[in-house]
């Protein structure tokens, strides 16, 4: 089942902050975050695992509420390069192999 992201779109001025949310109705093993610029491939940002482990870029922060099956991506002091579509990918790990179900996407535009 596809996770729901909010907001669907957000416009920021350079230097402003934003939070992107990802919500699932199923118990999750991990949440991944990716950014996709127009015409390009998705690029990895962050993984948050059940139990608190995180892997990702130093300048990106995120949280994972295991009880609520929700994750949030925090973009602070936004830069023009942050523009793109952000996807969360949720993983339930039922089979022992990674299978990501990607969310609906959040379009972010950072203007000067």
Partner 1 sequence: DTAVSQTPKYLVTQMGNDKSIKCEQNLGHDTMYWYKQDSKKFLKIMFSYNNKELIINETVPNRFSPKSPDKAHLNLHINSLELGDSAVYFCASSLEELAGGSHEQYFGPGTRLTVT
Which residues would be at the binding site for partner 1 (CB under 8 A)? 2, 29-30, 32, 34, 36, 40-44, 47, 49, 53, 55, 85, 87, 89, 91, 93, 95-102, 104-105
Nearer to partner 1, 17 or 55 (CB): 55
Query: Cβ closer to partner 1: 16 or 85?
Result: 85
List Cβ<8 Å contacts ≥24 apart for 93-97: 93/29, 93/30
Strands of the sheet with 70-75, listed across from one edge: 4-6, 18-23, 70-75, 61-65
Q: DSSP secondary-structure letter at 72? A: E
CB of 97 to partner 1, least distance (A): 5
The least CB distance from residue 78 to partner 1, in Å, is: 21
Tell me the backbone φ, ψ of residue 70, rounded to 5 degrees.
-130, 145
């Amino acid at each position: 089942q596809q996770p729901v992201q909010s907001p669907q779109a957000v416009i920021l001025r350079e230097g402003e902050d934003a939070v992107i949310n990802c919500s699932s109705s199923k118990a999750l093993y991990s949440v991944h975050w990716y950014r996709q610029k127009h015409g390009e491939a998705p690029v990895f940002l962050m993984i948050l695992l059940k139990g608190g482990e995180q892997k990702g870029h130093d300048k990106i922060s995120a949280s994972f509420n295991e009880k609520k099956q929700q994750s949030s991506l925090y973009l602070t002091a936004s830069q023009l390069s942050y523009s793109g579509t952000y996807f969360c990918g949720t993983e339930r790990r039922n089979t022992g192999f990674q299978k990501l179900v990607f969310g609906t996407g959040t379009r972010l535009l950072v203007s000067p």
